[in-house]
Each structure stands twice: as C-alpha cells, then as structure tokens.
Structure 1
Amino acid sequence: MSDDLNHVMEFSSDGKLFAYIDEAGKLKIWDTERNLLKQEYIPNLHLASPITCLKWIEVGEKKSGSKKTPKKKLKQNESKLYLVLGTNKGKVVLYSYADAQIEREFQGTGHSDAVTDLFYDDAESIYSCGADSKVIKWNLGDGCKETQVLQAGKQKLTAIAVVDNFAIVASRAIKVYDLKSETCIKTFTGHSGTVSTIKTFTHNEKSYFLSISKTERIVSMWCLDETDKTDPIGSFVTDDCIIQINFNVTNDQLQLTAVNRIGVLQMYVQDLTKLRTSKPVKKRLNVQIVSEAVKNVSEPIQIIACLITAGENELLVAYGDRMLLKFEHIQPDHTMKENVLVRQNPKKFLKQSELDAQKPHNVVVPLAEKGKVEYLNQVTAVKKDLKPIDTPLQTRLENMSIGKSGDEPPAKNMVRLLIQGLHSKDANILRTVFQTKDPDAVRSTLEKLPPQYIKPLVNELSLLMQKKTTNVQLSIVWLKTLIQTQTSQLMALGSDTLKDMFGLCLGIVDHRMNDLPALMMLKGRMDLIASQLERKIKIQLI
C-alpha cells in the first residue's frame, strides 16, 4: 500500500460517501451504503497538475434576512456538498458533488508549489499549506478569495490544522502560529519523519491534537494549552507505519483506530485521565480481513480506511483494491485480541464480470439482398479519423527491435526506454534497462534523464534492492551513477526531500550491512579451512 494516501482519500462527515484520487489522477466518489461508484471525474488539469489533497466541506443554509449573494459567490441557498482539491501546481479548486464538475477556482496569488494539505473550520474558511512553506486562508463566502497569507518558516509544510486563531503546521517539527500576529508562539518536538496527518479535538476545555508520520509506528498526542510542554503527553504504538487514523472522544474515553500500510486495522481505547507519557498505549485489538480459503490458503485483503460511526462499537471500513472497493459496518469483538473477518475478495467480482462479458451471446445477423448492397471503393469510402500517436513510429520500431535481441539496448534508446518504463511502470521495460551493466551506457543514460524522473527512478531502484543479491548489485550501480551525474539536481531538492527519497535505500543498506561483520568472519574461517586442506593434500602427495 502506498504511503502517500493520507490526503487523497476521505470519508464525508456522515460517512455516506468516500472520495479518493486513484493512481491515474481520477477523482472517484463511492456510495458506502450501497457499495456503488457514484461519480468518476477526470479534471482537465490532472495530467499537467495532479491532485495532491482533498477535503469534504458542506455549505449550509443561509440565515433568513441575509442579502442575496451575487452570481460570483457560492450558491448557499441550500445545503450542498463540495470537495476542495489541491493540486501539484499550487492551485485550489472547488468540486461540486451535486453538479459533478469543478465549480470554481480559488482566487488569489496562491501557492508557488504543491498544495500538501487542507483544513476546513466548519464556517466559511479553508486553510491550505504547501511545499512553499505558506499557509493561506480562503474565504468561501466571498467568492473563494484569498484573505491571508502566512509565511511559516522555510521548510516544506505537510500537514495543517486550525484551532481558534492558532494554526498548527508541521513538516518534521510541529509549530503553532498566532494568525492575528502571524508569529510562531510554540514549537513541539514533532517526529523523526515527515508529519502526514494532524487531527484536533477539545476535551475539558483544553485543545489536543494527534499526529502521525508516514515513516513511524507512533501516534503522538499533544496538548495545545500547556505552554511549558513541548513533548507529547501520550503515544500509541502500532505494528507498522500508519497511513490513516480516526478517533472519537466520549466522556473521558478516547477511541482511536489506525490503519497501517499492510492493510491491518488496529484499535485503541484509552482513559484520557490516566494517560502517561512514560508508557506508550498498546493496541486493544487487531481487525484483519482475509479471503475465503482456496486449497486451505487464505489471502489477506487490505483495509484502506476506517471511520468510527455514531453507533456504539461500530466501525465503517473500506477494504479491497483501490480500483474496486467495498464498504462494511463491523462491530469488533473486544474480548478477542485478533478479529479476523472472512470476506470474498472484491477482485473476484471484477474477474467474474469480465469472464461473463467474454461469453458468447446469440447474435441475430440481418440478411441483405444482393441487389441492394452498396460497395465502397477508395473514392466513395469515408476515411476514418486517425488518432494521434504519442510515440513516433521510428521509436516504436526501435523498441521492438530491442526486445528481440538478447543484447543490451543501445545507449541512444536507453533514455527513451527508461522514461517509458517509469511513466508506465512496465516491469519488463524496467528490467531490460536495469540489467545493463556497461558503466558508460548507464552514465550516458542518467546524464540525459529529465529531472522530473529522478524521484520515480529512486523509488524503482528501492524496490529492486529488496530482491535478490544480483538485483541489489545492479541497483547500487545505478544509484551510485545517479548521484554522480545528477548531483546538482539532487542538492536542489533539499535535505528533507532527500531523506524521504533515499530513506528506504539507506534502510536496506543498513540492514544488509548488519550481517557484514559475521559474513567476513565466516569468510575468514572458510579461507583458513581451505588453506589447511590444500596443505594436507600437498603433504599427502609428497
């Protein structure tokens, strides 16, 4: 499961709808009650400017006696659902669920880089943060205009929440800004990795918030009102890195759910009056979904997201594949540590429908009289409009010729193949490119690689390093050459981005290096035994 799902999926406030952006850039909205895909929308700007975050908002009825709003303002005469979408180019747009289209684009200077997170204050304001370190306040009631811009340091912001007149923003550290004075009034220790989500709540007239990082297994809890404390007042430990959390506070009980990247839901129940900083809270139970056993083998089905519903001890879970989801209300058994639910895999429904579509059908073919048949020739025939082809014919022929021979692809075609493989994520093309062992060919390829493909290349090499030793050797050659040839481009990304980009590679290297001393000692012993055997054989021959 991808680690970048935090801000591109969300339940509506009533839990009846679930919105997310798939890998192709499509906005999909599911009806959770009927398990139906209600809307599928492809924004005009999705190819050049992919959507990076979304937020459900609901515009309620206007009070009686208020002035009529002009056409440029939002239609607030009735309660309507909207999705606020942030893009990779810094734009913020408003999507109408009722009209199934983009209703307007937010007006103002906006962000100069990607919008990373959005926050709705349940009034008429939307707050956005971006990779340009800016926090922008937008007024929904005034034509979605920009009303305030706050420069929050120099680091890339990845999460935002607003409590009263205080903005909580995060990169690795978590900072609190006074929106009136636009000054930083407090800095929390934060996380070792990039913060991906901030959730706020109020209890006993105090403000609290929860935070997670996409590279950690800890949910941290902080108190906003205690000015002398910068460390978390409590923490919840999980089994794997977290992609989504949800919570509910009833009286003094905090009910927390965390979905990790392997698709397992973990649940916590904690009395807030007994929360201790010295001891992390452990999970109350696990919820895992598996498929029906075939030949005594059950496959795990990933849980994508969870919502704690208004019902007592009831959860709404989304599970399956991102292309085909299912939603179900479940009641976990708190007396059991492991809750395993057996369900049919949603993928099987798709496969069965495809098989049904391929079955032959009885087709009635009309008979034509021979004298009434009109034959078309080159003059009378209507030429079909040819669709434009993205890749030139010469390039396609060159790629076809590469696949037939067992030799390494020529250097002039390596860049084309690499870009094509990274763009389409074709395993066969990437395998052909990465198996190249010629250092000169690798260097010339990486020197001509466009900068926007550096990060996808590092991700693919990180996956390659997790395989057999031969693949690790190939990936090391490519990574070493990439660092040598693209040094200036990598340095321009900044230390935080580089840590996130190469974090998985460094972790794999450290893991393999842990066994190196033992392997060297074993090699030394084996060499010693081999030399002793050779000496004995020579003595016997003499």
Structure 2
Amino acid sequence: MAAAGGVCEPLPPPSALSPRARDLLALSGVDGRIQVWDTRGGGLRREYVPSAHLNATCTCLAWAPSRGIQESHQKKRRKSEAVDKDEQYDLLTIGTATGTILLYSIVKGELQSKLVGGHDNRVNCVRWHQDNGYLYSCSEDKHIVEWNTQTYKVKCKWKGDNSSVSSLCISPDGKMLLSAGRTIKLWDLETKVLTKQFTGHSSAVTSLMFINVRPSGDSQTSNDATGLYFLSAALNDRFISVWQARTEKKEKSALLSFTLSEAPISVDLAPSNSREEPLKMAVVCRDGQLHLFEHVLNGNYKKPLAPTCTVQMATSGSDAGATPKPISILSAGFCPDRQTVVLCYGSTMLPVTERVVLKMDEPHTCLVRDIQKTVTLRQEAAVTKVKTPVVSANTNILVPGIPGHSSAAGSSVSRKQDGKRKPGDKEVSIEDRLGAMDIDLPKVAKKPGLPQTDNFAVLLVQGLESNDAHILNKVFQTKNDSLIKKTVARIPMCSVIPLVHELTKRLQGHPSSAILMVRWVKAVLINHASYLSTLPDLVPQLGGLYQLMETRVKTLQKMSRLNGKLFLVITQVTATEISQRVQVNQEAKLVYEEESSEEEEEDQNTDSDDNWEEGEEEAENEDESEASGEAESEDDMNVDKVNGDSDADLGNESEEE
C-alpha cells in the first residue's frame, strides 16, 4: 500500500505478501530495516538494512513477477535442481523517501540494482507489469515513471496529476494503468493518453486494485465491457468504493461501497471465477480489526454494504489478575483455496504469521492467542544460532553505560568452569562475587570529605526515568557550564529525547528558570546533534521546542523596546521621589553686592542729612519771627501777603518777556 504525502497521522509501515502461494511476507520496520518472514514456518528468511535507512526510509514494497523474466541474468542450473519457493519471487522492490528505488534479491541476500534519476521526491507506489517486466512508479513530484528493468533506466515519464500521485494499478490485460491522487485517472499504457477520470474521494487514494470478473457461459472474451471493475480506498475514508472501468455511461459515481470501522491499511481480493460466484475481500483497518466481505457484483447499490464477518484478536488473560488485551492485525491475504487467510499480527519488530480457515457465516469472530509465549519460543530458537566469540583474559569489553566503567572478561573456557558448581563446593559470598567483577574506575585524586563528581549523568537519568521532580530540580539548578556539558555528554542515547521534552516543559515556566534551561538546551544540541538528525520522527519530537523558541525570538525585539521604555519611566519616577524627600534651606549662604549701588546709597544718605539740617534752621527762624511779631497787626500781615503776590506776578511777567 502506498503512503500519501502531507499526512499528519503516522502511517503504518508498508508490507507485502508474495502473490499466489502467500509464502513470504515483506515487512518494513520504523527504523528502515526490511525483513522477509516465512508465513509457513514463521522464521526470518532475510533481513536487509539499506545504507541510508535512517534518512531514506522505506515507503512502499512490491514483489516482482516470477523468475522467468530474470532467467537471462542468472547462471544455468542443473535439471535435477529443484526450484525453491522463494526463488519464484526473487526480487523485492523497495521505494524510498528520497526518490530512489532499490531491487533486493532474496536468493542472493544482496542489493541487485538501484534505480536513480526518475523521481526527486518520495516514492509512493511501485507496480510490475506481468507481461513485459516493466516497472511503474509514482511519487510526490506529480509524475509517473516507466522503468526498463533490463537497462535500469527511465523509459518514459509523464505528469500524472496536479498534486502528488499516491497509488498505481495495472489492468489484468496489461493495456491500462490506473493512477490516483485525489482523482482517479485511467491511462492507455501504449499511448500514455488519459481516457477517463473518476471522482469520489475527499483525501488521497492509497489503494487501487482491479477486479476481473470472468464472464459466464460460452463467452471467452476476457475484456468484457461490463466485467472489469476496480476498487479504491482513501486515506481517511471509512469505506471502499467499487467502480466500473469500461462503461459507456456518463455516470462518474461508484457502483457500490463497503463500510469499515476505520481507514483501511491492507486490502486483498480472492477473485471469482464467474459472475455467479461472489467476490471475497479482506480488509485490515487501523484499529487492528479484519473485515471480510462476500458479494456478487451484479448492479448498483445505493446503500453501503456492511462486512459479512469481523475478526478480532486478543490475549487469553489466563494469568492471575490479567485481563485480555487486544492484538492488532497488521496484514491479511487470501490463499489460492479462497478459504484460508494468512494473518500477520503482533508488532512490526517481531510479527507472528498464521494461516487460519475462517467461517464467513459468523458475523463476529474473536481469535484468542497467547502472543507472549509465541514470541518467547521464537526468541529462544533464534538464540541457539548465536556463536559466542572466544575472548582472551586480558581483553576489556566496552558495554553501554556510563563511560569509565569496564570489566575484564575472562576466556569462554574459564567462564564455563567457574560457572559449574561441584557438589562439595561452598557457595561464593556476594562480597567475593563483587570483588571478582574487577570493575575499573577512573583514577581521581582522593580528597578528604565527601566524594567528588564532575557530572550528574546518573542522577539525571534516574530523575527522567522516575519522573521525580525533586531530583530534576536539584540537577537543573546548577549554573556551571562545564558541569552541564559533561552531564549531557555522558547520558545514554535513550535519555536524550526525554531530556528534550523535560526542558521544553520547563522553558514554558518562570523566566528565571528558563534562563537556566537555555544552557541545558544548548549543551544537548551541541553534544547530540548527530543523533537527533538521524531520528525518523524528528519533527514531532522537536516541534514543540522549535515553536517555543520561534515565538520567543519573534517577541524579543518588542520586549526589548518595552524594557527600555519602562526603564526610562522608572528612572524618572525614582528621581522625582528623591527630589521631593530632600528639604531645601531657604537662607542664602552668601550675598554679593556691587560697589556702584553702595556709593549711590551713601550720596542719598548725605543729601538727606543736609536737608534735615536746613529744615531745622528754618524752623528755628520761624519760631523767633513768631515770637517777635506777635504785636504786629493783621494789616501788616495782609500787606506782606499782597507784596508776595505782586512779587510773584512780576516774576511771571519777566518770564513771559
């Protein structure tokens, strides 16, 4: 199943069952490892790790046709040599996230070829042509590429859609090609001409599959106009639509649809041999359930069809106090007998395959499996094939953990002899056992008092694993940059992502604590940048930290301006308050007077004294005249007044002249 781009929810890892016999299951893990499992025996056949599996993860898988096409490239075999079942389907096609397509040989256990130059973006789907052996691929770059597998070069390339092309399918007669993004298109493979379009899905189509219903009666034409159908499933749609590929009607809607509990991740068909025989379909949904449908294609249906049978898996819960837990079904496929179904369930790292005969007349079926015991038995069987190397007595073995701790490993023979206990021997005490471990510690100068340390790696790991806020607060309160760098450098890789999440949470708190957390974030990015860059889910892991830092940086300029303005206002207010508190003395400490002013004052004082003396003399004369002239008569006084008036008049006359 092809994966569509631009999806927020994580898609399940791609898987592919070998055609017809369903003997092999190819499954891609989240770390890019590709494993090929035997569905009959349950063992691991091959495991392939691409060189760029961390940054160019597997996006789609497909099995090449039988070995008849590749016989010219192989050595001649003896007639008596039987053909192994995995040799019938030798090549496994692997599409990657960088646009490269890999061809891996199951028989040789090595990479046979690499198809480069067709796509420059994520490969969503690959399909093989049954007749000419050509390979068709589609990608996020909106193009469809036709590959020549003999020369491993691009034969033809054309634009398939205005957006990404998510799925492909080739018709049984090999003359038509279906491509789908948000719109399904039918192409003529010979001329590369678009013949028809189908619309009906709101999201990217992830599965396309032709249904070739053989005609009944004496008619032998396999290309009947009403006998070729195909089904489609979209990314977030809870139904599967069935379309009629060849029809003269102008209707563009689906003939019928099948309802599901969740979006499908795996679809397989058991085609019918005639029109009267019902079509069987097995669909695995995201919720881990398997839905089986059985229906005869004989017309349009407006009402969606419910599944004939729903299969679930769960644990037994036989242990004391244990409750049954559901088991997710990863993939399912029909065997050639149309009755047996190959189920793949469990985890993608260690899946379990089983062939089950299901009854279609039961609407609900729950299969009880003890998956833990099954996985334990498989692990024990695999351990017996591991060979332990012979190590000399002077060899030091480096184990994961804190740097500086190493143990001396003795030879394998001495270990076996020491491990056996004879009947007469005494049991070794714990003190002797610890002494025999011979742990080499780094030599540090001994100082009196408490033991010294240069990092908090062990304490930090304990706090992260136990989620103890008290321990984490003690560690994060340190302000020594050298101590922070050594602590971050010595933590194990599995603790890097929990440390990043804890720092992101604390950065959203008080600004004083955020200043300390920035030092830790800087140390993490410097010491573990290479590890973080190899994570396939780097964006979800560091998305919160990136958004937080981007938000803080955007508001930094505005906050700095606000800080400057507030500083000026606070400074002015403080200065005003200080000036009001101080009491000012109003008396002058020094008075300065000019000389000119003093002289004028002295002159004025002298003039006033002279005038004062003249006034006194006049007053005395007046008193004497009054005393002497008491006897004068009033007539004399009148004569004086007249004379005074006449004198004044004479004076006035002289002035007029």
Shorter-chain TM-score above 0.5:
yes
Matched-pair identity in %? 20
Report whether the alignment pairs 1:37 with 2:104. Answer: no
C-alpha distance after superposition, 1:249-284 (max 9, x if no partner): 2123111111111211111111111441x1111011
Change (3 A) 1:222 1:304: same
Partner Cα separation in structure 1 for residue 175 and residue 382 of structure 2: 58
Structure-2-length-normalised TM-score: 0.56
CA contact (8 A) 1:320 1:346 kept: no
**1:430-441 → structure 2 map (5 Å cutoff):** 430-438=501-509
Change (3 A) 1:53 1:365: same
Secondary structure at 1:273 match in 2 = coil
**1:55-66 → structure 2 map (5 Å cutoff):** 55-61=62-68
Q: Which residue of 1 aligns with 2:33?
A: 26
Q: Which residue of 2 aligns with 1:363?
A: 416
CA contact (8 A) 1:62 1:76 kept: no
Q: Which residue of 2 aligns with 1:218?
A: 239
Q: Which has the higher strand share?
A: 1
Change (3 A) 1:396 1:351: farther
Pick aligned residue for 2:91 from 58, 71, 82 = 82
Report whether the alignment pairs 1:289 with 2:313. Answer: yes
Report whether the alignment pairs 1:177 with 2:187. Answer: yes
Change (3 A) 1:152 1:426: same
Aligned-residue CA RMSD (Å)? 4.4
List runs of 5+ in structure 1 lacking aligned partners: 368-392, 463-474, 488-542
CA contact (8 A) 2:18 2:25 kept: yes
Change (3 A) 1:184 1:335: closer
Report whether the alignment pairs 1:92 with 2:114. Answer: no
**1:131-142 → structure 2 map (5 Å cutoff):** 131-140=140-149, 142=150
CA contact (8 A) 2:210 2:229 kept: yes
Q: Which residue of 2 aligns with 1:254?
A: 279
Shift of 1:296: 5.8
CA contact (8 A) 2:212 2:228 kept: yes
Secondary structure at 1:406 match in 2 = helix
CA contact (8 A) 2:311 2:364 kept: yes
**1:217-236 → structure 2 map (5 Å cutoff):** 217-226=238-247, 228-236=250-258
C-alpha distance after superposition, 1:61-108 (max 9, x if no partner): 369xxxx95xxx57798855110111111111211010011011126x
Change (3 A) 1:99 1:270: same
Change (3 A) 1:307 1:75: farther
Shift of 1:186: 2.5
Change (3 A) 1:327 1:365: same
Secondary structure at 1:298 match in 2 = coil
CA contact (8 A) 1:422 1:453 kept: no
CA contact (8 A) 1:421 1:430 kept: no
CA contact (8 A) 1:324 1:346 kept: no
Shift of 1:182: 3.3
Partner Cα separation in structure 1 for residue 74 and residue 305 of structure 2: 45
Partner Cα separation in structure 2 for residue 86 and residue 105 of structure 1: 10
Paired amino acid for 2:257: S
Change (3 A) 1:353 1:89: closer
Report whether the alignment pairs 1:240 with 2:262. Answer: yes
CA contact (8 A) 2:280 2:294 kept: yes
Larger radius of gyration between Structure 1 and Structure 2: 2
Paired amino acid for 2:211: F
Q: Which residue of 2 aligns with 1:520?
A: none
Report whether the alignment pairs 1:188 with 2:214. Answer: no
Q: Higher mean Cα deviation, 282-291 or 322-331?
A: 322-331
CA contact (8 A) 2:497 2:541 kept: no
Q: Which residue of 2 aligns with 1:11?
A: 17
Runs of 4+ in structure 1 off by over 6 angstroms are 74-78, 354-357, 393-402, 407-414, 420-425, 439-446, 448-455, 482-487
Partner Cα separation in structure 2 for residue 423 and residue 152 of structure 1: 43
Partner Cα separation in structure 2 for residue 59 and residue 243 of structure 1: 26
Shift of 1:122: 1.4
Paired amino acid for 1:32: T
Pick aligned residue for 1:114 from 93, 97, 122 = 122
Partner Cα separation in structure 1 for residue 111 and residue 363 of structure 2: 45
Q: Which residue of 2 aligns with 1:323?
A: 349
Secondary structure at 1:307 match in 2 = strand
Partner Cα separation in structure 2 for residue 280 and residue 34 of structure 1: 39
Shift of 1:482: 8.3
List runs of 5+ in structure 2 lacking aligned partners: 1-8, 78-82, 216-223, 384-413, 421-453, 465-470, 555-657
Secondary structure at 1:405 match in 2 = helix
Secondary structure at 1:281 match in 2 = coil
**1:327-338 → structure 2 map (5 Å cutoff):** 327-338=353-364
Q: Which residue of 2 aligns with 1:147?
A: 155
Report whether the alignment pairs 1:314 with 2:336. Answer: no
Change (3 A) 1:184 1:283: same
Paired amino acid for 2:303: K
Shift of 1:145: 2.5
Partner Cα separation in structure 2 for residue 4 and residue 112 of structure 1: 21
C-alpha distance after superposition, 1:191-245 (max 9, x if no partner): 2222111111222423222111232211111121125232221110011121111
Partner Cα separation in structure 2 for residue 363 and residue 20 of structure 1: 39
Shift of 1:44: 1.8
Shift of 1:111: 0.5
Pick aligned residue for 1:349 from 361, 372, 375 = 375
Change (3 A) 1:62 1:36: closer
Change (3 A) 1:429 1:143: same
Q: Which residue of 1 aligns with 2:294?
A: 269
Corresponding residue pairs, total? 429
Structure-1-length-normalised TM-score: 0.67
Paired amino acid for 1:199: M
Change (3 A) 1:99 1:483: same
Q: Which residue of 2 aligns with 1:198?
A: 208
Shift of 1:21: 0.9
Partner Cα separation in structure 2 for residue 433 and residue 87 of structure 1: 32
CA contact (8 A) 1:422 1:456 kept: no
Paired amino acid for 2:341: L
